[in-house]
Structure 1
Amino acid sequence: MTMRVTRNTAVFCLLALILTAPATAATSEEKRVADATDVLDQLLRIPEQAIPPTLLSRAYAVAVIPDVIKVGFGVGVRHGKGILVIRQDDNSWSNPVFIALTGGSVGWQIGGQSTDIVLVFKTRKGVDGIANGKITLGADASIAAGPVGRQASAATDIVFQAEIMSYSRSRGLFAGISFEGTGVTMDRKSNVAFYGDSTMTPERIFASSPNIAPDVANTFVQMLTAQTSRLPTQPGMRSGVTSTSPPYSDDTASVRTFGMPDPDEDLSVPDDENF
C-alpha cells in the first residue's frame, strides 16, 4: 500500500512538472524583460552617468542584457541573456526579440561577477547579423566603449565612428566598456516561449504590432520612447522615411545610419517646446 501511494505521488509530481513547464518558461522570459526594464530605468535616473540622450535618440537599436555572469580564474567566461529592440521607420520602437551574449575575458579574476550590459547600435548592420544567427563584436561590427554623461564632447572620433557603443553596470555604476570578441546570438527558443508562436522569427517580431507582446514588453518600449521622443530631430535622422531595402538584408549598402552630432553642437532641449 505504501509503495502504491509513493508511486502515485511520483507520477503526480512528474505530470505537474510537465504541465507547468511552459508556464515556467514564459515566466522566465517575462522576468528577463522586467529585469531589462529595471536596468534601463536605473540607467536613465542618473544623467551624469547615463548614456547621452542624443546617442539614444540617434540609435537604430538598443539591447539590454541584465545579470551577465562572468566566472573563472585567469581566463573568464561571460554569459547572459537579454532583449533587443529596433527603431521603426516612423521612429517608434519595435517589439523586443531575445538575444544571448557569450564571450571570454582575460585578467586576474576569481569567483563570479554579475554585470548589466547595454549595447547601443548606431547602424542596422549589427542587427542584421544577429537576426541571421550571430555576430562577433569587434569583428563583424565595430564596437567601442560609449561616452557617458549629459555631454558626449569628451568622446573621441573613434567612438563616434563605431557601429555599436557598449555600456556596463557593476555595483550600481554605469561606464563605457568594450566587449570585443564577444558573440551575440538570437535566442529563438525564448522568442517562441514569450510570444507563444513557433513560427515567430525576428523579422516578424520587429514588424508586428505592439499588441502581440505581453504587457511587460510594452513597459520597456514605453520607457525607451519617453526618453527619446522629446529630443529634436537632427540632420541625419530619417524621421518617417520608409526604407525600400528588404528587411535584414546582408547588403551593407542598405545599412541605415543615424549620424552622431558634432561634439560642440548644442543639442539641449528647450523646456517650453513640444516635439
Structure 2
Amino acid sequence: MKRITATFCAMTLAATSLTAFAAGDKDKMIGRLDSAQAVLNEIMATPDKSVPQNILSSAYCVVVIPSFKKGAFVVGGQYGQGVATCRNTPSGKWSAPVFVQLAGGSFGFQIGGQSTDLVLIGMNERSLSDMLHNKFKIGGDAAASAGPVGRNAQAGTDWKLGAEFLTYSRSKGLFAGIDLDGTVLSQNQDDTRTFYGTDIQFESLLKGSTPVPPSARPFVRTVAKYFVAAKAAQ
C-alpha cells in the first residue's frame, strides 16, 4: 500500500512539474507577443520614420521578430524568433498569430552581437501562400525588397514591382529598410503547439479558422489598428 501511495505521489509530482513547465513556456510565447506589439507601437510612434501608410494599407501579412541576434544560431549566423498574422479577405480580419523563426548567414547590419528588431510586410496574396509553407528563403523562394520609410514614400518605388515582402530593421532607434536575402523564414511548430496547447495547422490559423486567443488580442489588434488607420488616410 505504501509503495502504491509513493508511486501515485511521484506521478502527481511529475504531472505537476510538467504542467508548470508548460505554463512557463507559454508565458515566454505571451512575452514574445507583447514584445512584438511594443516594437510596432514604437516604430509607428514617429510617422516620418515609420512604415509608410500606402504600404500598411496594402499589407496582407505582418511578421515581427523582436531582438534578432547575431551569433545566436551558428558562428557568423543570425537567428530570431517572432510572430506573424495575416489579413483574411473579404472579411478584413487579422488572423490568430503563428510563431515563426528566421535564420541566415551574416549580412552585415549588426556589430558586436547587437540585437535588432525586424519587421516583414507581406504585400500580396503570394506572401500569404509563402507563409503557409513550412519554410522559404527570402530573396529565393519569395521576392523581397528593403522597404521604404516615412510618410511620403513614393507609391511608384521598387516595392510595387512584385516584391512579396518588404523588409525593415530597427537598431538603436534607427528604422530603415534592409536586405534580408538568403535568410530562411520557417514555422515554429513547437512554440505554436505550446501556445495553443495542441497541434493546429498554420493554414487554419493564418486563414482565420481559429479564434484569436485573449492573450494574443493586443498584438493582433495593434496590427489591425495601424492597417485601418492607413486605409482611412488614403
Same structural fold, with TM-score higher than 0.5 when normalized by the shorter chain: yes
Provide the TM-score with structure 1 as the length reference: 0.72
Shift of 1:232: 4.2
Provide the TM-score with structure 2 as the length reference: 0.84
Q: In proportion to residue count, which structure has more helix?
A: 2
Alignment partner of 1:227 is 2:214:
no
Aligned to 1:143: 144
Aligned-partner Cα distance in 2 for 1:221–1:30? 12
Aligned to 2:22: 22
Structure 2 contact 60–127 (Cα < 8 Å) conserved: no
Shift of 1:126: 3.3
Shift of 1:157: 3.6
Change beyond 3 A, Cα 1:163–1:19: closer
Structure 1 contact 145–166 (Cα < 8 Å) conserved: yes
Structure 2 contact 62–223 (Cα < 8 Å) conserved: no
Percent sequence identity over aligned pairs: 35
- Unpaired runs of 5+ residues, structure 2, are 1-9
Change beyond 3 A, Cα 1:109–1:61: closer
Change beyond 3 A, Cα 1:144–1:156: farther
Aligned to 2:133: 132
Aligned-partner Cα distance in 2 for 1:79–1:219? 25
3-state DSSP of counterpart to 1:113: coil
Aligned to 1:121: 122
Note the 1:249-268 alignment, pairs <5 A. Answer: 268=233
3-state DSSP of counterpart to 1:28: helix
Aligned to 1:158: 158
Change beyond 3 A, Cα 1:49–1:231: closer
Aligned to 1:102: 103
Shift of 1:209: 4.6
Aligned to 2:195: 194
Aligned to 1:39: 39
Aligned-partner Cα distance in 2 for 1:40–1:231? 14
**Which deviations, in whole Å up to 9, do the C-alpha atoms of 1:24-69 show, x marking residues without a partner?**
1101111111110000111110101100012111011110010110
- Unpaired runs of 5+ residues, structure 1, are 1-10, 234-267, 270-275
Question: What is the root-mean-square deviation of aligned Cα atoms in Å?
Answer: 2.4
Shift of 1:134: 0.6
**Which deviations, in whole Å up to 9, do the C-alpha atoms of 1:144-178 show, x marking residues without a partner?**
1101010112x764232221100000012211111
Paired amino acid for 1:222: R
Aligned to 1:250: none
Aligned to 1:48: 48
**Which deviations, in whole Å up to 9, do the C-alpha atoms of 1:181-213 show, x marking residues without a partner?**
000000111111111122x01112232353x51
Shift of 1:92: 1.6
Shift of 1:94: 0.9
Structure 1 contact 71–113 (Cα < 8 Å) conserved: no
Paired amino acid for 2:140: A
Structure 1 contact 80–101 (Cα < 8 Å) conserved: yes
**Which deviations, in whole Å up to 9, do the C-alpha atoms of 1:127-156 show, x marking residues without a partner?**
323322111000011111101010112x76
Paired amino acid for 1:202: F
Aligned to 1:8: none
Shift of 1:18: 3.5
Return structure 1 stretches of 4+ with deviation > 3 angstroms. Answer: 14-19, 106-111, 230-233
